[in-house]
Amino acid sequence: MRTVEEHQRVVAGLIERRPPVRLPISETLGLTLAEDIVAPLSLPGFDNSAMDGYAVMAEDAAGASEDRPVLLPVVEDIPAGRTDPLVLQPGTAHRIMTGAPLPRGATAVVPVEATNAATDTVAIRAAARPGQHVRTAGEDVTAGTTVLRSGVALTPAALGLAAALGLGELSVIPRHRVLVMSTGTELVAPGMPLQPGQIYESNAVMLAAAIREAGGEVVASPMTGDDVDAFRDTLGRYAGEADLVITTGGVSAGAYEVVKDALGAGGVEFTKVAMQPGMPQGAGRVGGTPVVTLPGNPVSALVSFEVFLRVPLRAAMGVVQPERPRRNAVLTEDLTSPRGKRQFRRGVFDPGTGEVTSYGPPASHHLRWLASANCLLEIPEDVSELPAGSRVDIWDLS
């Protein structure tokens, strides 16, 4: 049997970063920037008003007060977006709105609240200081400055900055395109009627969601019966569009193991990994496309995704810390674990007390417990009994 780490290395070796692409900025949230962004212009791009009020020469209103207002004729009205160049003459004021360009010669903005708000002759009731309420060109960003480095994750604020600099497209590491295939003649799509002996398909929607949550793109998530030809047809139809194929089911030791039967003679190696759940695994390439085959039990499938796929997928998309946060927690109960296998149990971690309680039985079909868990407990191969009060490593899924 392979160790968890050995199979992790095999899977990670298959998943490669795609070359950068240029995408419209609106499609880049969460992606990794693949270029340094050097500001092509300054922010603000021109001196402008920080308030609604009056542009003046500060010295003209330096002596203004509530008792002795300064009266100035208002000779221009400058809303935001006015583009013609204006010059302020001494002894006059221009009415100006927030974000409007400051007229040449103006050195201060008097907020409308400190005036009578007039449009003919304004009465200024507070002393003006040079520079007040003026946003100076370049005070935020100077043209030529590197404002975002290649490798950062694009957050809403980063997109705002790039847009403010006029960038309509960004060079990014694109999403990994993943084909999810679930197999099993017993499977029926949710929403359809169920016959005796059939079950609802749950791996495809679950793994597709996990892939999207990890930043990937799902090419398709088709389901096939345990029929080798149907499986190969479906794979052939979609594989060309995918950077990675993930299958579930059909890889254990039974008689109708469609994934093994369809891919075993080719470039996919089927193996056992010393872990519970998730022992039967496979990995390789079909026609050059990486294929990772996960077991069919839903808990095994999702735990396998966590253990083998999530980290390399995120790393391939440039995520700097692709791993789940790990913690060490105090166990609230006695647990047993199979010797020689790494056990991943579902659990609930209480950050207040630092305690973790395992959730549900270790069996690989108990989805309900997985759905309510906020962590995975990782119990090493050489541990078979863990008494209450022991320390255990957990993966924070929250």
Structure tokens at 241: 């569009």
234 forms part of the interface with ligand AMP (CB under 6 A): no
d(CA 134, CA 101): 10
Binding track over 157-196 against ligand AMP, x by CB under 6 A: -------------------------x-x-xx---------
Least distance from Mg ion to the Cβ atom of residue 250, Å: 5
Q: Rounded to whole angstroms, what are the CA distances from 231 to 38, 224, 275?
A: 49, 6, 27
Placement of tokens 């004729």 in the chain: 73
Residues 183 and 232 sit within 8 Å (Cβ to Cβ): no
Which residues from 100-139 bind ligand AMP, rule CB under 6 A?
A: none
**Greatest C-alpha distance within the chain:** 98
Which residues from 288-307 bind ligand AMP, rule CB under 6 A?
A: 295-298
CA angle 174, 310, 264 (to 5 degrees): 100
CA angle 271, 274, 277 (to 5 degrees): 95
d(CA 242, CA 290): 9
* Number of DSSP helices (H) and strands (E) in the chain, helices first: 8, 29
Stretch that binds Mg ion, among 112-120, 231-239, 296-304, 332-340 (CB under 5 A): 296-304
The one-letter amino acid at 185: T
Number of residues that bind ligand AMP (CB under 6 A): 19
Residues 304 and 348 sit within 8 Å (Cβ to Cβ): no
Number of residues that bind Mg ion (CB under 5 A): 4
Q: What is the β-pairing status of strands 32-33 and 169-173?
A: antiparallel
Residues 394 and 343 sit within 8 Å (Cβ to Cβ): no
Residue 20 or 298 with smaller CB distance to Mg ion? 298
Least distance from ligand AMP to the Cβ atom of residue 295, Å: 5
| Cβ neighbours for 84, distance < 8 A, ≥ 6 positions apart | none
Residue whose C-beta lies closest to ligand AMP = 296
Stretch that binds Mg ion, among 36-44, 50-58, 247-255, 385-393 (CB under 5 A): 247-255
Least distance from ligand AMP to the Cβ atom of residue 256, Å: 8
Residue 123 or 188 with smaller CB distance to ligand AMP? 188
Stretch that binds ligand AMP, among 18-26, 56-64, 200-208, 375-383 (CB under 6 A): 200-208
Stretch that binds ligand AMP, among 68-76, 168-176, 230-238, 251-259 (CB under 6 A): 251-259
Least distance from ligand AMP to the Cβ atom of residue 207, Å: 9
Which residues from 212-231 bind ligand AMP, rule CB under 6 A?
A: none
Contact partner at residue 203 from Mg ion, ligand AMP, none, CB < 5 to 8 Å by partner kind: ligand AMP
Least distance from ligand AMP to the Cβ atom of residue 223, Å: 7
Give all strands of the β-sheet with 108-111 in edge-to-edge order: 108-111, 53-56, 93-96, 70-78, 121-124
Strand partners, 290: 285
249 forms part of the interface with Mg ion (CB under 5 A): yes
Q: Residues in the site for ligand AMP, rule: CB under 6 A?
A: 182, 184, 186-187, 199, 201-204, 248-252, 254, 295-298
The residues that touch Mg ion, with contacts defined as CB under 5 A, are 184, 249-250, 296
